Structure 1
C-alpha cells in the first residue's frame, strides 16, 4: 500500500514538473511578425500591368524593435524599392528574445 502511494506521488510530481517545463505561452513571434509585415505592405500603389511580383526579404530586428531590411531577392527593382521603403526602420512588437535573429519571408504583391 505504501509503495502505491509513493508511486502515485512520484507520477504526480513528474506530471507537474513536465507541465512547468513546457512553455505554456503558445504565441509564435514569427507568425505575429508576418502579420505585422502584411499590414505594412497593404495598400500598395504599384502599377505593372496586373503582373504578380514575388521575392524573398531577409531582415533582422534591431535593439529599438525596428525592422532592418538586409536584402530583397527579386527580379523587380520596383518591388525591391517598395519593400525597403515600407519596411525599413518600422517598429514592430516582439519579445526581446528574437531581436538580432535573421528572418527570411516570402513576399508576393499583386500589382494593379
Structure 2
C-alpha cells in the first residue's frame, strides 16, 4: 500500500503540473515536468496515512532563493498533517531545475492518494 501511495504521488505530481495563481509563473512544458518530478521526489517516502481510495490535494506556493533552495510560502489544503509535512519536507531543499528563476513565485499542485 505504501509503495502504491508513493507511485501515485509521483505520477500525480508529474501529470498535474498547473499554476493556479495568476501572479505565479506557469510551470508548464518540459521545465514543468522536471519541476513536478523533483517536487514529487522530495515528497516521496512519506508516512502520511490515508484510507483506501482517499486523495488529499494541496497547492504549494514557493519561491527559489539566491542559494537555489525552495522556500515554501504557503500550502493550501484541508489537511493539517499534509500541510505540515509538505512544509517540513520542501523548505530549504536545494532544487536545480532549468527554467526556475530565483526570486520568482511558483505554485504547483500535488496529490497524495492511497
C-alpha contact 2:71 2:92 (8 A) present in aligned 1: yes
1:47 to partner: Cα distance? 1.1
Relative CO higher for 1 or 2, CA cutoff 8 Å, sep ≥ 6? 2
In structure 1, stretches of 5+ residues that fail to align are 1-26
From the two aligned structures, give the one with the greater helix fraction: 1
Root-mean-square deviation (Å): 1.9
Counterpart mapping for 1:15-26 below 5 A: none
C-alpha contact 2:31 2:99 (8 A) present in aligned 1: no
Counterpart for residue 40 of structure 2: 38
Counterpart for residue 83 of structure 2: 80
Normalising by structure 1, we get a TM-score of 0.67
In structure 2, stretches of 5+ residues that fail to align are 1-28
Correspondence for 1:110 among 90, 99, 113: 113
1:45 to partner: Cα distance? 1.0
> Would you identify which runs of 4 or more consecutive aligned residues in structure 1 move more than 6 Å?
none
- Structure 2: distance between partners of 1:97 and 1:47: 32
The higher radius of gyration belongs to 1
1:95 to partner: Cα distance? 4.6
C-alpha contact 2:50 2:113 (8 A) present in aligned 1: no
